[in-house]
Structure 1
């Protein structure tokens, strides 16, 4: 069973991927009983040199998990188009994780500082092979309790063939995500592994705050621009007045 939620508001698939452009929204979405979602995400991109706006549509597949993920982004090199914005464009280079083999040629991987080794728990050789084989043109974001896949293009054109393919894709990665539920954040294991009564302490479930979000440089850029404006503007005003005198 599945239910349709058209023009869903107040919900965002991921954070980094869905925040490309502006005025993003899920313009159509199917919600499954387990919380999985298939839909279309529309965002606006402004072309300043043309002084025009253009709407772009991406498909997304969101797979829930029973545990929280550290924030990891895989920026696929296979979906780079002239109108698209790279997923990693706003992420600092210090968060880039270099992986062996040819995986780096297909995906640029980002994880919070200090979480590169944790990313390897999820990106085992078999997972990397699956991503290259079946998801080479999908950006991927692990965030909170969701694994979100993004790619350019519509999910639900006439005929429904693309939607059927998305459902198969969802089922494939739902099974994969179910195998990631044993990850634990060692930073939460500050106490002894053995309780005072001699029993093993169950590691807590969750993510340390340092691993919950990647450092998005867009906010830093905006802040820097404001600071520069506050510093430069008074001098511009003074010089302007001097020239007019």
Structure 2
């Protein structure tokens, strides 16, 4: 398959994930801020030696004083064993983390990627808008014109004994165009209660496509954007999704495409990396048509509020690593240092007037990103196609009600009331 060199230059080199890494690279990695620390292991081993020497001193003193030291001796031994086990577990965990981080760092270096490790940046996808304790781990990014990011992600739900940590993997690909909010819910990874998506989407936005596509994905798009979805998902595009990404949920939001998996994706398995690269390759081969799409509704909105055609699309809307302010999934806006107000005339609603430039999900505004990219590598806005952007109605899907969970909870409450009534009788 032909590789788009805007995102990856040359062939993939996965052998370093399982092979020998040179001592020079190991020493260099230890000097980077990405190398995990082993403070926990050293504290546990320190406690082991402290308890050991302290137990010998105290035990000797008690023996000379004709006091029974059996109970204290047993306690010291148990403390020694516990500290030793804790130290060994902490050391093993540290070595595993260090080895994985070092190999991913070396893999990134060998494949023209940047190893980022961990961060807590806010992204605009639906996965990154739920739960607490949100953390990106094992993150790698491209150094090319086409930003692509591979990473694992975790968040927590519940509290106390019912607290649960959810682990996901994702691939993020940046486009050169703004698209309506579309979600592909993969049928192959659904659970007993249906979709495994972290949020529920209003079923009225489901669009059935031709052929076998509905057997693999349920497509959701904003109402009124059905024809646009058909333009984006032509038969050849649908075949590529079925053949290469049937086990992944897909979200198109602003100028980003996210591929989600309900398990970590970034690791040391060369076969996994070969598959991830094939997913990105197969998608980008057909993405040119997506980047030519334009939303005619922008012109209508501009005419409605008395603005010029170019002014209405003066920059897109909030999308970047900062995501949406407050995690708004319904179309809220976000402050952007690169924002330049469009020259609207007359009375304009805030939602229409405030359309900041799209920020990159890697922490840069459009102006900053453009400054780092060589001139001419990102094509300017094509006046024949019209301005880039999406009208208000297509920016965010509506959330739905998780009826399966509601039914289960309601059934449990009814059963509890029934049994309580029977007991009182």
Do they superpose with TM above 0.5? yes
For residue 26 of structure 1, give the secondary structure of its aligned residue in structure 2: strand
TM-aligned CA distance change 1:84 to 1:94, over 3 Å: closer
How far apart, CA to CA, are the structure 2 residues paired with 1:138 and 1:159?
Answer: 18
- TM-score, length-scaled by structure 2: 0.45
How far apart, CA to CA, are the structure 1 residues paired with 2:397 and 2:273?
Answer: 31
How far apart, CA to CA, are the structure 1 residues paired with 2:269 and 2:207?
Answer: 40
**Runs of 5+ in structure 1 lacking a partner?**
194-199, 219-245
- Per the alignment, residue 172 of structure 1 pairs with 282
- Per the alignment, residue 421 of structure 2 pairs with none
- Per the alignment, residue 30 of structure 1 pairs with 140
For residue 157 of structure 1, give the secondary structure of its aligned residue in structure 2: coil
Which of 174, 191, 206 is the aligned partner of 1:64? 174
TM-aligned CA distance change 1:83 to 1:45, over 3 Å: farther
Which of 148, 151, 155 is the aligned partner of 1:43? 155
Post-superposition CA distance 1:89-148 (Å, at most 9, x none): 521112111222221121111111111111111111111111111111110001010111
- Per the alignment, residue 94 of structure 2 pairs with none
- Asked which structure has the greater CA Rg, the reply is 2
* Equivalent residues in 2 for 1:229-244, closer than 5 Å: none
How far apart, CA to CA, are the structure 1 residues paired with 2:117 and 2:194?
Answer: 24
Post-superposition CA distance 1:36-66 (Å, at most 9, x none): 11111213344x9x94233232221111111
User: Pairwise CA RMSD of aligned residues?
Assistant: 2.8
Q: Which has the higher contact order (CA 8 A, sep 6+)?
A: 1
TM-aligned CA distance change 1:109 to 1:82, over 3 Å: same
- Per the alignment, residue 273 of structure 2 pairs with 163
Q: C-alpha displacement at 1:84, in angstroms?
A: 9.1
- Per the alignment, residue 103 of structure 1 pairs with 213
How far apart, CA to CA, are the structure 2 residues paired with 1:19 and 1:5?
Answer: 21
Q: C-alpha displacement at 1:80, in angstroms?
A: 1.6
Higher relative helix content = 2
TM-aligned CA distance change 1:178 to 1:4, over 3 Å: farther
Higher relative strand content = 1
How far apart, CA to CA, are the structure 2 residues paired with 1:23 and 1:85?
Answer: 23
For residue 90 of structure 1, give the secondary structure of its aligned residue in structure 2: coil
